[in-house]
Structure 1
Amino acid sequence: MSVQWSQVKTWSSSGLSAYSGTVSSKRDRVLQQVASIQKNISGFQGQGDTADALRTAMGTAHTALSTLADDLAEVCDALDAAVPNIEQVMEAVKTAESTASSMQCTIDENGKPTCHYSGQESNSYRQVAEASVAGKITEAIALASYADESLNRALGKVGTPGSTSSASGQGTHKLSKSEQERFKNMSPEERADYWSKQSYEQKQYLCDHYPEMVGNADGVEGWARDRANRINLSEKKLAAEKEVEALKVAVNDPQQASLKQKNQEALTKAEHAVEAYSKIKSSLGNGISLEDYQHGKKGDPISLLTLQDDGRRVKAAVAQGDVDNAKHVSTFVPGIGTTVEGSLHNYIRQAGNLRQAAADQGNMPLKDVATISWLGYDAPGEPKFENLGDIASPNLAKEGSDRLAGFLTGMQASREHGAGDAHMSLVGHSYGSTTSGMAATKVKSGVIDDLVLFGSPGMGTFNPSDLHVDEGHRWVSGVPNGDWVQGVGSRFRKKIGFGGLGKNPMDDDSTFTHLSGDATGYEGYNHDAKPNRLRRFDTSNHSVYLEKGTETLQDIGRVVAGVK
């Protein structure tokens, strides 16, 4: 049943919190009974058939009450998780009602606003006012639909196989708001130290109860980020689906005609988000979770290390292999035209090619190598005229490099508190090479062991000494034809004085060592492509570097394997 405005405007989180407290108290009493029965079982010394029957009855009661305690704990967890969602709805309702009041509108029980303005040009003002209020109501309904469905899902899982609860582990505890804020404000190194001191049960508990906090927390182990982000993925996909439903109604609402374009843009973005989440989910289905792998389950691990929906689009980082224990970990950062919904599967495939090439070139088992497809920033759009402003500007790279530097620093710190230091390489393609180069100026020395840039418009800095990577471990690859993007930042700067993507790493004085630029072995290589020039807009070979059959792939693989 769809959520109605007449219902939503009466919602309150306080009643939910109070009921959670009541259920928690009942659970405490059940746990006391469990402890009492356990004490009786331990102290019972009777022998014979009657004693055995009594012992069995006490064991059955102990199991039943323990299960009930777990179920009640899961109910509490579901209610507690719903509280912030309800608070969001309350705030949205408050905003809608406040907007209505300021515009002299009322909202009827069906959620239809009516403006009572009677001044000059009242008809046009009334239409604008009513559309504005209706838009706020749409936002509140979308949030309410998500909160309702999310709670129903959580309650529906109570007592089912694989469900989790506060009673599942010993020594687990909730975090106060101040503790949560402290966790969020830690540096990656501080967070890695904090996380390493938690019990395994507490780590699981934090993943399950604070997934939004843990999933993107640099410094937390990969298995834990994956566990948390799988929860986040389900919730974010549901929220986006509910937003799509509400916006579809809004787009066709005559009362919101003046907001039709705005609503359509929001609908398109929400539909792209749903598609992105679906692509991530299908990608994860091609392997097993990292936590399951580390506990001995057979299969190849695929983990979700980043999941964010801020900025222009959904962002994600998907790893193949065991990032917590592999000897060699490579982070692949793609560039121009990258979106999760449109590119994730392809970049996971290319990162898989790189992983296999590294294992082959390093003569090592595949489990010793992990690769990460890091689509964790807003990349510029496809190489078209309307996107040249983003392509030639360093702004998106600067924003992305902050995130990337934190991610890499956190991974390094996590390894130092876990399996030990790994050989970490950063592999940047296209605009992602600029983002990678900038990140290399922001991390401490030793975080990035090898830096590889290819198809690069610029290395993110004009001063090679800014890079916190040893000079003998800076590598560059560039095909001679069909890669207009290669060095375009420098060409823009020389020709029109615009662009700050950094020095071309292909230049002789860049301090980068040249890797093979031979990608002709790829079946899709364009042998008739034009030489790389500013006015020869040919990108037919821009994305061939990590394709099978190329020497570029093998040579980059040697770097990732640490044998170059």
Structure 2
Amino acid sequence: MNWTDIQQWESAPLQTYAAECDSNQRKLQSVGEALASPLNSLTGSGQTVKAAKAALRKQITAIEKEVNFLISSAEIASEGAQGINEVRANADDAKQLAQSWNMTIDSSGNVSIDAAQVKRLKKAGKNILDIKYMVDTAQKRVNTALTQAQKLVDSLSQKLASLEAGTFDNHVHYSTTIKSRPTLPPAGASAQENASWWNSLSDDDKQWMINQHPDIIGNLEGVDYTSRNQANRIMLPRLQKQAKEELDAFVAKMNPHMSGPEFEEFMRLSARVKALDEIDKTLKRDSDGVPRFLMQLDASGPNILAAVSQNNPDDADHIGVIVPGMTTSVAGSIQEYDGHAKVMREAAEKAAGPGQKVAMVEFFGYDAPPGVLEASNTDMAQAGAKKLSGFLTGIDAAREHGAGDAHITVAAHSYGSTTAGIAATLVGDGVIDDLVQFGSPGSGVQDVAEFHVPEGHTYVSAAPYLEDVVQGLGPDDSFGKNPTKMPGYKHLSGKTVPTSLMPLFDKHSSYFRKDTQANRDIASVIGGKPNV
């Protein structure tokens, strides 16, 4: 596997093949069900009846075998398509960086820059440390792409061999005559594999999986959000009851005077109870006529994580994902951000125009820094970026196997903008269509070519610096460069609210304010018609 090889890879043929397999297996399932009906209705023990039953069983068995083959083929092709998109995203990054900085990538994937080019770059104002960083970054991207490519080839080869041998487990186990329930996909399955698996299930089997495994289906990337919402709403009251019992049990065994660690645990358990109650209240806000979808409900960690959408992401034309920053949490912020999402959604709907549906997501699927100390580094941004990139990849996969591709915009504020910037370097090609960062302490990168976002689709909104000094506040080497000063960004309006008596921070949280030009400009990107 070398650099030249992966330049020829394209995911589109595999995506098309997966879709064809899905379509054909559904048609065959209908035929199989139609044949099973007369088989069950045939009675008697005569030779004619026996011969008819044998003929029908033979046809049904052949159909069952072909359906399972098509389901398996679709899953494997889907894995290949997502894998290629991830490989190509890193490969394209490396090529863009090489072009921007006059580097060379040879057929084996070695990145180099000659002395003459270094001299030209230095004359153009480039710092030698920046040049070295970009060479190292490009080499890292090349190495990542090559490693991903080899792992993908090995995985697909193994699965194709299993398919040929008849031992591949598609976790659907389709049969018209032997009613067996599907099994959950393996923990390491990709969002595309999950989407293909879920799409292959009958409506009855989907409902069975939701009822039996709501904790897993509600957070399984690649599953549609109508189903995930149903599963998460099953889990919500269960988790509320469990959290309250855990808090009551903790309080019952505590002494009147808690130690420091004990008080911290008491506060954490109290926050879990409050977080679940706040989610419940947010979902009940649908009395405004806009349905809320509980896209994610993750209670596996120390804190409750969640994502709520206004309108259904399954059929929206435009999906905006708001990523909040420092001091935000489900317990303390989700209702506030539901208000922000409402303002942003309504403005995006105006920008998109009649007939265009906008789903606005409040993403609380990562642990944001609770204070300045934790926000002084990017540890939580790095961890959050992995969760955000997986979440976005799940939306993309669910739509590809559902209503079709949607326009996805990530609109990220403050520390969340750094988290989102890093996440935009982790997703595959075609996942994020537009990235908007506002009130940003750092972009998360040193060059926009590091983003897996189409060229010309990165935006920044910034209030005047002395009214939002968080902008560019993080060190460049860890937080990334200030997006307000980086080439490659399109600049949206930074006009928000009038300045008050706290000018240094007054406008940092004002980008969500209704009817401000900054809000309208950010929403215009979400609605697919940027005001630039």
> TM over 0.5, yes or no?
yes
- State yes or no: 1:459 paired with 2:443: yes
Cα distance in structure 1, aligned partners of 2:292 and 2:179: 27
Offset, 1:183: 3.7
Indicate if the aligned counterparts of 2:211 and 2:231 stay in contact, CA closer than 8 A: yes
Tell me the number of residue pairs that the alignment of Structure 1 and Structure 2 aligns. 356
- State yes or no: 1:375 paired with 2:353: no
- Give the match for residue 410 of structure 1: 394
- Give the match for residue 354 of structure 2: 364
Structure 1 segments of 4 or more deviating over 4 A? Answer: 170-175
Indicate if the aligned counterparts of 1:392 and 1:501 stay in contact, CA closer than 8 A: no
Amino acid at match of 2:469: W
- Give the match for residue 245 of structure 1: 248
- Give the match for residue 333 of structure 1: 323
In the TM superposition, 1:384-403 aligns within 5 A as 387-403=371-387
Amino acid at match of 1:244: L
Amino acid at match of 1:278: D
Q: 1:207 aligns with which of 194, 201, 210?
A: 210
Q: Deviations over 1:266-301 (max 9, x none)?
A: 22211111111001001111228xxxxxxxxx9422
Q: Deviations over 1:391-413 (max 9, x none)?
A: 12111011111111111111111
In the alignment, structure 2 segments of 5+ residues that lack a partner are: 1-39, 42-176
User: 3-state DSSP class of the match of 1:374?
Assistant: strand
- Give the match for residue 265 of structure 2: 266
Offset, 1:172: 7.6
Q: Deviations over 1:387-432 (max 9, x none)?
A: 3332121110111111111111111111011111111111110111
Q: 1:485 aligns with which of 446, 455, 470?
A: 470
Cα distance in structure 1, aligned partners of 2:389 and 2:201: 25
- Give the match for residue 104 of structure 1: none
Q: 2:492 aligns with which of 515, 523, 531?
A: 515
- State yes or no: 1:313 paired with 2:303: yes
Q: Deviations over 1:128-180 (max 9, x none)?
A: xxxxxxxxxxxxxxxxxxxxxxxxxxxxxxxxxxxxxxxxxx998545xxx43
- Give the match for residue 505 of structure 2: 539
In the alignment, structure 1 segments of 5+ residues that lack a partner are: 1-37, 40-169, 289-297, 382-386, 494-498, 531-537
- Give the match for residue 286 of structure 1: 285
Shift in CA distance, 479/217, structure 1 to aligned 2, threshold 3 Å: same
Indicate if the aligned counterparts of 1:184 and 1:217 stay in contact, CA closer than 8 A: no
Indicate if the aligned counterparts of 2:443 and 2:480 stay in contact, CA closer than 8 A: yes
Cα distance in structure 1, aligned partners of 2:330 and 2:420: 18
Cα distance in structure 1, aligned partners of 2:437 and 2:261: 39
Cα distance in structure 1, aligned partners of 2:313 and 2:329: 23
Cα distance in structure 2, aligned partners of 1:477 and 1:171: 59
Cα distance in structure 1, aligned partners of 2:250 and 2:244: 10
Amino acid at match of 1:340: V
Shift in CA distance, 244/357, structure 1 to aligned 2, threshold 3 Å: same
User: 3-state DSSP class of the match of 2:297?
Assistant: strand
- Give the match for residue 484 of structure 2: 506
Cα distance in structure 2, aligned partners of 1:197 and 1:360: 37
Indicate if the aligned counterparts of 1:471 and 1:512 stay in contact, CA closer than 8 A: no
Q: Deviations over 1:360-401 (max 9, x none)?
A: 122224x611010001101012xxxxx333212111011111
Amino acid at match of 1:375: F
Cα distance in structure 2, aligned partners of 1:466 and 1:437: 9
Q: 1:442 aligns with which of 426, 430, 452?
A: 426
- Give the match for residue 340 of structure 2: 350
Cα distance in structure 1, aligned partners of 2:338 and 2:222: 23
Q: 2:195 aligns with which of 172, 192, 195?
A: 192
- Give the match for residue 526 of structure 1: 499
Shift in CA distance, 174/242, structure 1 to aligned 2, threshold 3 Å: farther
Cα distance in structure 2, aligned partners of 1:173 and 1:304: 30
Offset, 1:263: 3.2
Offset, 1:232: 1.7
Amino acid at match of 2:403: A
Cα distance in structure 2, aligned partners of 1:421 and 1:543: 32
Shift in CA distance, 250/172, structure 1 to aligned 2, threshold 3 Å: farther
Amino acid at match of 1:378: D
Offset, 1:482: 2.6
- Give the match for residue 420 of structure 1: 404
Shift in CA distance, 173/516, structure 1 to aligned 2, threshold 3 Å: farther
Offset, 1:500: 0.9
Indicate if the aligned counterparts of 2:181 and 2:205 stay in contact, CA closer than 8 A: no
Cα distance in structure 2, aligned partners of 1:172 and 1:368: 39
Cα distance in structure 2, aligned partners of 1:518 and 1:401: 28
Offset, 1:310: 4.1
Amino acid at match of 1:526: T
Q: Deviations over 1:284-332 (max 9, x none)?
A: 11228xxxxxxxxx94220111111344521110000110001011111
Q: Deviations over 1:189-248 (max 9, x none)?
A: 111111111112211211111011111111110111111111221111111100111111
Shift in CA distance, 172/299, structure 1 to aligned 2, threshold 3 Å: farther
- Give the match for residue 562 of structure 1: 528
The TM-score, its normalising length taken from structure 2, stands at 0.64
Cα distance in structure 2, aligned partners of 1:310 and 1:504: 34
Cα distance in structure 2, aligned partners of 1:456 and 1:172: 54
- State yes or no: 1:475 paired with 2:475: no
Indicate if the aligned counterparts of 1:430 and 1:454 stay in contact, CA closer than 8 A: yes
Cα distance in structure 2, aligned partners of 1:388 and 1:279: 24
Indicate if the aligned counterparts of 1:455 and 1:478 stay in contact, CA closer than 8 A: yes
Amino acid at match of 1:428: A
Indicate if the aligned counterparts of 2:225 and 2:314 stay in contact, CA closer than 8 A: yes
Shift in CA distance, 172/441, structure 1 to aligned 2, threshold 3 Å: farther
Cα distance in structure 1, aligned partners of 2:244 and 2:178: 37
Offset, 1:485: 1.6
Indicate if the aligned counterparts of 1:247 and 1:263 stay in contact, CA closer than 8 A: no
- Give the match for residue 518 of structure 2: 552
Amino acid at match of 2:261: K
- Flag the structure with more relative contact order, 1 or 2, with Cα contacts below 8 A and sequence separation at least 6: 2
Indicate if the aligned counterparts of 2:500 and 2:506 stay in contact, CA closer than 8 A: no
More deviation, 244-253/396-405: 244-253
Indicate if the aligned counterparts of 2:492 and 2:518 stay in contact, CA closer than 8 A: yes
- Give the match for residue 153 of structure 2: none
Offset, 1:529: 4.0
Cα distance in structure 2, aligned partners of 1:235 and 1:301: 22
- Give the match for residue 110 of structure 2: none
Shift in CA distance, 171/285, structure 1 to aligned 2, threshold 3 Å: farther
User: 3-state DSSP class of the match of 1:262?
Assistant: helix
- Give the match for residue 234 of structure 1: 237
Indicate if the aligned counterparts of 1:430 and 1:455 stay in contact, CA closer than 8 A: yes
Offset, 1:262: 3.4
Compare CA radii of gyration and give the structure with the larger one: 1
Offset, 1:489: 0.8
Cα distance in structure 1, aligned partners of 2:201 and 2:337: 34
